[in-house]
A and B are shown apart, each in its own frame.
Chain A
Amino acid sequence: MVKLAGLSLNEQEFLTDSLKQGIRSDGRSLDQFRDVEITLGDQPGYVDVRLGKTRVAVRVSGSITKPYEDRPFEGIFTISTEIGPIAGAFFENGRPSDEEVLVSRLIEKAIKRSGALDVEGLCIVAGDKCWNIRADIHFMDFDGGFIDASCIGVITALQHFSRPEVTVSGEQVVVYSTDEREPVKLSILHVPICVTFALFNPKEKEENIKGGADGNEEAGEFAIVDATMKEEGLSNGTLTITMNKNKEICQISKSGGLPAEGLMVMDCANKAYGIVEKLTDQIKEVLKQ
């Protein structure tokens, strides 16, 4: 993400050395996710997620528009991700960096393309009127894990949101206010959760290119769960796995160029499942209130 913002060489070395020994600066173990705090707003569709010092607010809203011409039976679902300088002065206003583009594409892939929201249920009149559900993600404080936090935020907000009841009689579409008729919840097909691992290579830099496992030598790369901003800056690559509670992988994305062993990816997926299970239960618990 933000490459080593304000980290001295000493600190960089200290942090990587301690990570090699399995110690993190905030006292977590390598495969421990930070505590997630989910707060629901008074209005349906507003969710505030805190992941350690990272803070993300998600606002889901709906309006009625015309569906896309090539998809007349489907509603529209858009996710807007724009990171402003409020999250940190290193994010520039109106000029997304490569990492920001990566964040928004990953979230889009994890939630929209995995079919978490039933878009066919958003159709009102085929080819003429449909719901446009929009999720605005407001990034407010950055300390690593933007993808994980916003994924939790969007999926919780979608479940929290309810749209006004609509009836169709002939050509006419009637939208009832929330006082007149009970608003309708969106139909969510599954709950994808992202877990991001930061990959580290404890050995020389050359190995990033050559790949270390030439038979007799062990690769030695390791992954840590839910990196903070500093750890993210130091890492040699990231691996984001999106999973749901049914143990289905919705999306997997590895960036940074560090070669990783297949077994390690399997191991990460297993660890991710444990976290996904816990988070799904937490979201359910929060929404019950």
Chain B
Amino acid sequence: MELDAKIGVLNNAGGSSEVSLNGIKVVCGINGPMEARPRQELPTTCYLEVIIRPAIGNPTVREKYMEDKIKNFLNSVIIGNLYPRQVIQVNLQILEKKNNNSSYTSDSDESAATEDVLLELNCCINSAFLALVDANISIYKAFNSNIFTYTHKGSLVKDGLSEAKSRHLVVYGIKNNKVDELLYGENVGRFSEKKLFMALERGEKESMILHSKLKELSVESVKQKFVYLS
């Protein structure tokens, strides 16, 4: 499904974005860099706080897991030594999630919930990138996330279908308009090594396509905020 994104949707947050992708809608708001509480303070770098809130119910271990994953790779992207002893807070609120029967949940739906982790992570990561740009936080490289699915027939398709043999989340860093390195990958299901490499290769191409889209959006946001003399 097509990515639909807006930048600067919130007023109180330092930077914000709203992204709809694969039937999931996420709002990301970034606060900071701001003063850290003594407990969080790191002398040479910034403390990153990632908070994910689900659409329905209270945050559980599932959200904590996603927070940890996002935090780990964001730490390698944000130029932390520019913000020593400060905290950057990344808030992700999941608003809508399209299931077949999302308004009705029962306990047996939990296996489906773990499947959705990849889809949610995918949307969260792209939204976090746009919000970071909006918040003017220095990063080493741009990044974006794509999701690929191997269907039961063995063909590789972009975006998460509900019926899948395996699913692959691929996050590439992009530097100087070129794919720089693989920042983060997450795979669910049964697949061979060869298939994984094929998915990664496809990810490289797709991530450049997505990057040009995100870049267009972020250029627009920067233009609105700063006036450059030509």
Hey, which bits of chain A sit against chain B, CB under 8 A? 41-46, 48, 53, 55, 57, 59-64, 80, 82, 84-89, 93, 134, 136, 138, 140-143, 161-164, 175, 177-178, 183
Tell me the smallest distance from the CB of A100 to a CB of chain B, in Å. 15
How many pairs, one residue from A and one from B, have CB atoms within 8 Å of each other in the complex? Answer: 100
Interface membership of B89, Cβ < 8 A: yes
Bound state CA distance, A69 and B12, in angstroms? 44
Interface membership of B224, Cβ < 8 A: no
Contact (A89, B98) CB under 8 Å given A64-B106, A84-B93, A134-B57: no
Closest to A175 in B: B104
Does the CB pair B105–A61 fall under 8 Å?
yes
Does the CB pair A86–B91 fall under 8 Å?
yes
Does the CB pair B95–A138 fall under 8 Å?
yes
Query: What are the residues of chain B within 8 A of A177 when measuring CB–CB?
Result: 100-101
Tell me the smallest distance from the CB of B12 to a CB of chain A, in Å. 4
Bound state CA distance, A93 and B96, in angstroms? 22
Does the CB pair A164–B101 fall under 8 Å?
yes
Bound state CA distance, A88 and B89, in angstroms? 11
Does the CB pair A161–B13 fall under 8 Å?
no
Contact (A162, B103) CB under 8 Å given A85-B31, A136-B57: yes
Interface membership of B29, Cβ < 8 A: yes
Bound state CA distance, A66 and B202, in angstroms? 49
Bound state CA distance, A63 and B29, in angstroms? 30
Interface membership of B58, Cβ < 8 A: yes
In the complex, per-residue mask of B90-114: 1 if CB is within 8 Å of any chain A CB, else 0: 0101011010111111100000000
Does the CB pair B51–A85 fall under 8 Å?
yes
Contact (A61, B103) CB under 8 Å given A84-B53, A85-B89, A87-B12: yes
Interface membership of B60, Cβ < 8 A: no
Query: What are the residues of chain A within 8 A of B55 when measuring CB–CB?
Result: 59, 136, 138
Does the CB pair B53–A138 fall under 8 Å?
yes
Bound state CA distance, A178 and B98, in angstroms? 14
Does the CB pair A88–B104 fall under 8 Å?
no
Does the CB pair B101–A85 fall under 8 Å?
no
Interface membership of B198, Cβ < 8 A: no
Contact (A55, B93) CB under 8 Å given A42-B98, A163-B104, A178-B101: no
Bound state CA distance, A164 and B104, in angstroms? 7
Bound state CA distance, A89 and B30, in angstroms? 9
Query: What are the residues of chain B within 8 A of A161 when measuring CB–CB?
Result: 103
Closest to B107 in A: A63
Tell me the smallest distance from the CB of B87 to a CB of chain A, in Å. 10
Does the CB pair B58–A41 fall under 8 Å?
no
Bound state CA distance, A55 and B11, in angstroms? 10
Interface membership of B32, Cβ < 8 A: yes
Interface membership of B222, Cβ < 8 A: no
Bound state CA distance, A190 and B10, in angstroms? 32
Contact (A138, B93) CB under 8 Å given A64-B106, A161-B103, A163-B103: yes
Q: Which 7 A-B pairs have the closest CB atoms?
A: A86-B91, A88-B12, A89-B31, A86-B29, A61-B56, A141-B10, A53-B11
Tell me the smallest distance from the CB of B163 to a CB of chain A, in Å. 17
Tell me the smallest distance from the CB of B153 to a CB of chain A, in Å. 25
Does the CB pair B103–A86 fall under 8 Å?
no
Q: Restricting to B30-75, which residues have a CB under 8 Å from any CB of A?
A: 31-32, 34, 49, 51, 53, 55-58
Tell me the smallest distance from the CB of A60 to a CB of chain B, in Å. 8
Query: What are the residues of chain A within 8 A of B105 when measuring CB–CB?
Result: 61-63
Tell me the smallest distance from the CB of A96 to a CB of chain B, in Å. 13
Does the CB pair A63–B104 fall under 8 Å?
yes
Tell me the smallest distance from the CB of A78 to a CB of chain B, in Å. 10
